A and B are shown apart, each in its own frame.
Chain A
Amino acid sequence: AQKVTQAQTEISVVEKEDVTLDCVYETRDTTYYLFWYKQPPSGELVFLIRRNSFDEQNEISGRYSWNFQKSTSSFNFTITASQVVDSAVYFCALSGYSGAGSYQLTFGKGTKLSVIP
């Protein structure tokens, strides 16, 4: 069975501070995908990044960066110089193959980020 753990339930930071959201996953699959989604109060899940299990290259995209470490089964997400608009719930998700061509996402419980002006 697959599992995603986001140990941080809520985080509050002051605007312009850096913040890292932690994600630890469990899977027996050798090929899998990891995702980060952002959920603002409007409810939709906004896609941020996707990484496959063979790509451990870390990436920086604007104020966002990701640290994928297969050895520790972690896929952490950092926001640099946080802004009030970053306030949302952030979900880490793991995609696993379920057979018959189907995949499904297993989500962590989410981390609620509040950026205080």
Chain B
Amino acid sequence: KAGVTQTPRYLIKTRGQQVTLSCSPISGHRSVSWYQQTPGQGLQFLFEYFSETQRNKGNFPGRFSGRQFSNSRSEMNVSTLELGDSALYLCASSSTGSSIYGYTFGSGTRLTVV
């Protein structure tokens, strides 16, 4: 079956702009988590959505937001971009979000803020 699809793969944005990233989970999976990966901070949890509801949120400013649609596809939005938002954004798909079933990651979206 198809894996986790993240679009776009690469993005270049200007400071102050906003950006929307998309993640389509594995068919049948209802949980989508987002992670930010930077050289300095490593991989950090952003938030998790399950059945269109945000269940958990990491320690990120309110400029980072997300949503999940009825087909389980998820988007994350970053407003008023800062240089420090340059990162690889990864989403993880899980059937229920429980660790019992594990997580499948997409290839990520590499965001560069200039």
Give chain A's interface residues, CB within 8 Å of chain B: 32-33, 35, 37, 42-47, 50, 52, 91, 93, 95, 98-110
Contacts and interface: CB of A to CB of B under 8 A. Distances in A.
B110 interface: yes
Contacts of B107: 42-44
Contacts of A109: 42
B58 A47 contact: no
Contacts of A37: 105
25 contacts: A35-B102, A43-B88, A43-B90, A43-B107, A44-B90, A44-B108, A45-B90, A45-B92, A47-B102, A50-B102, A91-B43, A93-B43, A98-B56, A101-B96, A101-B97, A101-B98, A102-B48, A102-B56, A102-B97, A104-B48, A104-B58, A105-B45, A107-B35, A107-B43, A109-B42
Q: Which 3 A-B pairs have the closest CB atoms?
A: A102-B56, A33-B99, A102-B55
Contacts of B42: 107-110
Q: Is the interface of B mostly helix, strand, loop or mixed?
A: strand
> Is the interface on chain B under 10, 10 to 19, 20 to 34, or 35 or more residues?
20 to 34
B103 interface: yes
Interface of B: 33, 35, 42-45, 48, 50, 55-56, 58, 88, 90, 92, 96-100, 102-108, 110
Main secondary structure of the interface of A (DSSP, over half): strand
Contact of A43 (B33, B56, B99, B108): B108
Nearest to B40: A109
Contacts of A99: 56
A30 B33 CA distance: 23
Given A45-B105, A47-B105, A101-B97, 14 more contacts: A37-B105, A42-B107, A43-B107, A44-B106, A45-B90, A50-B99, A98-B56, A100-B55, A103-B98, A104-B45, A104-B56, A105-B35, A107-B35, A109-B42
